[in-house]
Amino acid sequence: MSKASQARRLASAAAYGGRGLSLASAVIYGVLVAEALAARKMIGRATKPVFDASGYYGKGRPGPPIEIALLGDSAAVGYGVDRVEHVPGAYWASGVAQFADRRVHLRSYPVVGAQSSDLWSQVDMVLEAPCDVAVIVVGPNDVTHMVRPAASVRHLGESVRRLRQAGVEVVVGTCPDLGTIRPILPPLRQVARHWSRRLAAAQAIVALDEGGRTVSLGTILGPEFEAEPAELFGPDKFHPSPEGYHAFADVLLPTTLAALGLVAPDELLPAAQRGEGVRRTASAAVEAADTTGTELDPLDLTGSRRALRGRWVELRHRRHPHTPEAETPSPVDQP
């Protein structure tokens, strides 16, 4: 069975409540979880403060502010840094403010240790107020806590559906490649890489089926992190450093701007010279999982809802400008 077929099968299992795991996969998964538990002992308990990036960004820029929300786990929180300006939400919101030339209001709801099942309560909070776009980053804790992949992507799909039904644009940063996490030792590091990429592909399919956009975080912890672990990984060798979180925000920003309709005219159509174009959803999801920053957009070929949930998407490799240094969030809207 091809990788694309496996990803589609897993996504279909989520839709129908199936388990989506073969016996062989379950054995591999169990071994991976055992290694993850050992890795946690090497990483140690969470002792760092957690900073809330919620607030207003872009002081002095015109308004009304763009309303954005961030959901997910410790990667979205920015766990491990010493200043609020170093969390990904601050980098991301500052980038949106600069490139949109608008004030931005960020509401940040991620929780350290969150799994996909925790998104429901986070979505509840997002829906309490107007929101233009929400970014979801989740997945690694589902892997390390032995959550069945079909259940994981089902929770994600439900969250995307609720947000889209409320008129909120949604960007899902799919599960990053866990194969570069130093505390996970070979050969199980290779297993972690395979499993996280498979989950990322299934996440993309489910999110696209519900009308969201996705962007791959697949190798955000990849070659650059392997080459410069001291610079891009934090002290626990598991969470990114401030420089790593800045790179994380760089990947999310272009797709966020696209979701807000704030891309340049020459970015509206896929560019063949960058390898962009229309793809079958499952094949595109597998391709995206292997390449950081690959964006997948739902494609409506006929104007019908059924087509939106169909088999075709636009695959893009948008330019990723470096986001500015992050602002300190203001607790109140200031003109």
Q: Are 71 and 135 in contact (CB under 8 A)?
A: yes
Q: Are 18 and 292 in contact (CB under 8 A)?
A: no
Sequence length of the chain is: 335
Q: Which of 54, 73, 74, 250 is flagged as catalytic?
A: 74
Q: Is 74 a catalytic residue?
A: yes
Counting beta carbons within 10 angstroms of the beta carbon of residue 173, is it exposed (0 to 12), middle (13 to 18) or buried (19 or more)?
Answer: buried
Q: Are 81 and 234 in contact (CB under 8 A)?
A: yes
Strand-pair partners of 216: 174
Dist. CA 64–CA 151, nearest whole Å:
39
Q: Is 196 a catalytic residue?
A: no
For 22, the token pair is 């073969």
Q: Which of 86, 239, 246, 317 is flagged as catalytic?
A: 239
What is the sign of the dihedral through the CA atoms of 120, 121, 125 and 128? positive
Q: Which of 25, 52, 145, 236 is flagged as catalytic?
A: 236
Give how far Cα 321 sits from Cα of 197, 255, 267, Å: 25, 12, 14
Residues known to be catalytic: 74, 236, 239
